[in-house]
Amino acid sequence: MSSPAVSAPSPAFGQRLWARLRRPDWPRRLKVTGTGRTYLMVTLGVGIGALNTGNNLLYLLLGLLLGVIVLSGLLSERVLRGLHVERVGADALHAREPGTFRWRLSRERGHAFAIEVREVHAELTGRATAAILGPGRSHVLRGQVTAPRRGPLVLEAVDVSTTWPFGLFAKSRRFPIPGEVLVLPARIRVRGEVPRAHQGLAGEDGRARFQDGEGDLAGLRELADGEDARRIHWLKSASSQKLVRAERDREERQTVELVLETGPSRAALDRRCEELAAQARTLMARGIEVGLTVGPVRLRPSIGPAHLRRLLTALARAGFSTPPVTREVA
């Protein structure tokens, strides 16, 4: 999956200036830290003392303090310039639960220090930090993020900030990277009884012997045209010099069809999704195949991590009509 990387502004000064003039938001944001506030207060006090007394040593100290402030701006700018950022995303992000989120950062020249990365989204809190980023290679930063609710979150930008070099100011740069993260329903305990499973032979008919079963070996025969190559018994094929396929019995399967009723309020729907997700997880842990019907969408009963992921994704998207416009990262 290709990922949109954002690099430093274009090298041409005119273009850069024009881009800045056109953009209503300034490309850097500055926030004074707690230490910085005290530092500024002391600087102000020294300045007032210098002005009041004319004491040149206080002016000298004031000059140094102002120099440190200017230097802070210069060095932090060096860190944020020439930075390439890419959103890698999360494997599985559940609502109300910290999940690992990844970003890939790289820079061509110079080292960057004390980097902090976070998503610009009100509902996605959490950050990743890096003490040092070397030049010429990419670094994957992992951070723990939390979303309060399930569903797709439309991401617009990644915020990279640094308190380098003195921790007086936190300067940040915003990289506009559109994307989406899908927050899966929160993991909760199953409340009450889980639905009773339907027990029986699964498949297109109820015969015990069915050539596409997963049970015990029932026989061997030559592979016919168009049959699934995954059924080939390779040991026997090698010994008989022809492709031989295995026939296996169908197993008895326990299945549960879960149904998500659409229509209730968003809060009720969220609770129902979490409940169904918990039931699906519990049922699968017991070896029961789980199917799901969400409105017109129906997922056939199956089992396994990939199917569980499909169920959770369907539950996460339930009630949200907005399709994933750009890129799903979770």
Partner 1 sequence: MSARLNRVRLRLRDLAAGAAFGSLVISWQLPSVLLLLAAAGFVLALFDRRPFGDRHLVGGVFLLLAGALCFGMVWKGPVDLVVGACCFATLLTLQRMLSAPGPAVDAQVNLASLLMVAGGGALSGDLLYAPMLALYAVFSILAMGLGVVSATVAPGTTFPLRRVLLPLSVGAGLAMVLGLTFFILFPRLSWNMAGGRVSTGLGPVTTGFSDQVRLGGSGSIKSNPRVVARVHLSPDPGDEALNRYWIGRTYDTFDGVRWTAQSTPVETEGQIRLSHGGDRLIHQEIELLPAYGARTALALEAPSLFGGAVANTHKGRRRTRMQRLENSEIRFEREAPGYDYHAYSLPADVTREVPALTTGDLDRARSLPADLDPRIPALAQRLLAGEQDPLRAAERLARHLSTRFRYSMELPGEHPDALSHFLFERQEGHCEHFATALTVLLRTQGIPARLATGFFGGERLGDDYILRAGDAHAWTQVLVPGRGWVSVDATPPAFRSAQPEPFLTWLVDRYEALEERWCNSVVDYDIRDQWAFLSGMLSDRERHDVLAGEVVEARPRRALGMGLGAFFGVLLLGWILERRVRRPRSDPATRFHHRLRRTVQRDPTIGAGLARGVPIEELARRLRQTDHPAATPLDDAVRRYLEARFGSRPLGAREASQLLQRLRSALGTAARSS
Pick 131 or 224: Cβ nearer partner 1: 131
Pick 42 or 238: Cβ nearer partner 1: 42
* Binding stretches for partner 1 (CB under 8 A): 34-35, 38-39, 42, 45-46, 49, 51-68, 70-71, 74-75, 109-111, 113-116, 129-132, 134-136, 163-167
Largest CA distance in the chain: 105
Min. distance of Cβ 111 from partner 1 in angstroms? 6
Angstrom distance (rounded) from CA 118 to CA 155: 11
What is the identity of the amino acid at 250? Answer: R
Min. distance of Cβ 145 from partner 1 in angstroms? 17
What are the CA-CA distances from residue 27 to residues 75, 76, 87, 278, 291 (Å)? 16, 14, 19, 44, 48
Min. distance of Cβ 5 from partner 1 in angstroms? 20
Min. distance of Cβ 41 from partner 1 in angstroms? 9
Pick 132 or 154: Cβ nearer partner 1: 132
Angstrom distance (rounded) from CA 25 to CA 316: 33
What is the identity of the amino acid at 115? Answer: I
Angstrom distance (rounded) from CA 202 to CA 149: 36
By residue count, the chain amounts to 330
Pick 57 or 122: Cβ nearer partner 1: 57
Instruction: Report the candidate in 310, 291, 313, 293 with the shortest Cα–Cα distance to residue 301.
Output: 291
**Could you give phi then psi for residue 259, rounded to 5 degrees?**
-130, 130
Pick 70 or 229: Cβ nearer partner 1: 70
Min. distance of Cβ 172 from partner 1 in angstroms? 15
